[in-house]
Amino acid sequence: MIPDGPYDLVGVGIGPANLSLAALSDPLDGLHTAFFERESAFRWHPGLMIDGAFLQVPFLADLVSLVDPTSQLSFLSYLRARERLYPFYFAEKFHIPRAEYADYCAWVSRRLPNLRFDQSVLAIRWSTADDMFELDIAPTGRVLARNVVLGVGTEPKTPAPLRPFAVHSADYLPARERLVATEDVTVVGSGQSGAEVFLDLLRARPAGRGTLRWLTRTPAFAPMEYSKLGLEQFTPDYTRFFHGLDEPTRDRLVPAQWQLYKAISADTIGEIFDELYQRTVGGGWPDVVLAPGVEVTAATENGGGVELSLRHVHQGGHATVTTDAIVCATGYQERDLGDLLGPLWTGLDRDAAGRLVVDADYRVGTATRGSLYVQNAERHTHGVGAPDLGLIAWRAATILNSVCGKKVYPLPERTAFTTFGL
């Protein structure tokens, strides 16, 4: 049963970002909220829930702790509820399995009364008659809200030539059995997902099955920047600094920081190397190809397989190779919000490149009196930390402070040893 509202705040989508917002808004008396998600329950990247995959951030990057460690919805509260505190204490692990983070989030989602699943938000507009946002939600119908927070996440991105042939890494697990049994498999892309898929196939495919190939345009299978001072680029301090830079400087910085968000955890690289090394015991080389600096420029069907046209980014040479199956671990892109926002979309403030102008409180400029906020759609304005789980509680608290017009969550003035800016 969904109450009618009007709501002070409506969240669209329930991934970790809006789930953190829901968890932190729950104790705020008098703030009337609702969150709508089109899936039937909380799910976090189920297609990539590979056995043995770990969260890339410490467990303290849960939905609430970095803002309110006393919350009943912290990861430690979850462990207590599950009677797992002692095993966790003896495990001495800051990095938890990805499956455990998903289970923790699902646990939180079952404790919040204001989450609605199986609800697709179809359109958001401004209602002049009501002086509020009006949302069309299926099957609920019309919902009114003073403030709206879009937490709709990103969508898988596949290079155009590969679209007819490839499975995206986001859908890896349902395709895994087929890929394990396929003779010649090519994985494209060398971020963390590409590395996890390559490692999983390497382990699962029996020796002699055929070629497992790993191609990437980037110049190396590079480790993720994980030095302690390097990680300070995922702090509120850095986010504020980045937000204050001009647009051309921000646009130059983000690609230059690729090792903060596009590379591979050093542990996964180590596991891949060890697995390959083990296969050389007794002599010979494993039937794998690991080729950095190689771009796939075209793909055509070729006698049941797919012929890939390759270009070496540095040598400039061209080659072709025929493969039986392709996994694209080629990342994600921001969703096009045009359909959802309709006429509101055209009225939003844009930067020189046509992207949304997002203010320091994560609000996009509308001509309306209500406020529209975005989560995880602001890398161009807030930097590489936009999708990072370590910043979601802080971002959610920033939004709540803005919605409430007062500091309902006090936030630290300083979060890094590094001084960003003069």
The yes or no reply on residue 7 touching ligand FAD (CB under 6 A) is no
For residues 8-27, which are near ligand FAD according to CB under 6 A? 12-18
Residue 235 is which amino acid?
Answer: T
Angle at 377 between CA 376 and CA 381, to 5 degrees: 105
From residue 62, give the alpha-carbon distance in Å to each of 25, 352, 384: 15, 35, 19
CB of 66 to ligand FAD, least distance (A): 12
Could you say which residues in the range 193-212 bind ligand FAD, by CB under 6 A? 193
Angstrom distance (rounded) from CA 331 to CA 108: 27
Minimum distance of ligand FAD from residue 89's CB (angstroms): 22
The interface region with ligand FAD, picked from 53-61, 109-117, 250-258, 394-402 by CB under 6 A, is: 53-61
All residues at 6 or more sequence positions from 384 whose CB lies less than 8 Å from its CB, including other chains: 233, 234, 254, 257, 260, 261
Query: What tokens appear for 98 in the block?
Result: 């990805």
Told to check if 221 binds ligand FAD by CB under 6 A, we report: no
Among 21, 34, 35, 37, binds ligand FAD (CB under 6 A): 37
Binding part of the chain for ligand FAD, among 69-77, 158-166, 383-391, 412-420 by CB under 6 A, reads 383-391
Site string for ligand FAD, 147-166 (x = CB under 6 A): ----xxx-------------
Is residue 95 near ligand FAD by the rule CB under 6 A?
no
Residue 254 near residue 384 (C-beta atoms within 8 A): yes
* The only residue of 5, 82, 103, 120 in contact with ligand FAD, by rule CB under 6 A: 120
CB 223 within 8 A of CB 263: yes
Select the residue interacting with ligand FAD from 212, 389, 396, 400 (CB under 6 A).
389
- Closest approach of ligand FAD to the CB of residue 54, in Å: 7
Cis check: omega of the bond before 6, within 30 degrees of 0? yes
Q: Is 383 in the site for ligand FAD (CB under 6 A)?
A: no
Shortest Cβ 118–ligand FAD spacing (Å): 10
* Ranges within 288-327 binding ligand FAD (CB under 6 A): none
CB of 43 to ligand FAD, least distance (A): 7
User: Any residues with CB less than 8 A from the CB of 143 and at least 6 apart, and which?
Assistant: 2, 4, 5, 6, 7, 10, 34, 36, 134, 135, 137
CB 35 within 8 A of CB 22: yes
Cβ of residue 98: shortest distance to ligand FAD, in angstroms?
6
Q: What's the Cα-to-Cα distance from 161 to each of 90, 179, 318, 326, 398, rounded to whole Å?
A: 49, 20, 16, 12, 41
Pick the stretch among 55-63, 266-274, 345-353, 406-414 that binds ligand FAD (CB under 6 A).
55-63
Q: Judged by CB under 6 A, which stretch of 41-49, 72-80, 173-181, 313-321 contacts ligand FAD?
A: 41-49
* Closer residue to ligand FAD, CB minimum distance, 12 or 308: 12
Q: Is 385 in the site for ligand FAD (CB under 6 A)?
A: no
CA distance linking residue 111 with residue 204, whole number of Å: 38
Among 11, 189, 236, 387, binds ligand FAD (CB under 6 A): 387
Question: Cβ of residue 401: shortest distance to ligand FAD, in angstroms?
Answer: 19
**Do 69 and 150 touch, CB atoms closer than 8 A?**
no
Strand pairing category for 141-150 and 132-138: antiparallel
From residue 372, alpha-carbon distances to 95, 208, 363, 402 in Å are 34, 55, 6, 11
**Amino acid identity, position 376:** N
Q: Is the peptide bond before 139 cis (omega within 30 degrees of 0)?
A: yes
Q: How far is the CB of 169 from ligand FAD (least distance, A)?
A: 8
In angstroms, give the least distance from the CB of 196 to ligand FAD: 8
For ligand FAD, the closer CB: 65 or 193: 193
Q: In whole angstroms, how close is the CB of 4 to ligand FAD at the nearest point?
A: 19
Taking the alpha carbons of 227, 230, 232, 234 in that order, is the dihedral positive or negative?
negative
Classify residue 147 as exposed, middle or buried by CB count within 10 Å of its CB (0-12, 13-18, 19+): buried
- CA dist 286 and 279 (Å) reads 6
Give, rounded to a whole angstrom, the gap between the first and last alpha carbons of the chain: 54
- Using CB under 6 A, count the residues that bind ligand FAD: 30
Instruction: Report the interface residues with ligand FAD, using CB under 6 A.
Output: 12-18, 36-39, 44-45, 48, 55-57, 120-121, 151-153, 193, 340, 375-376, 387-390
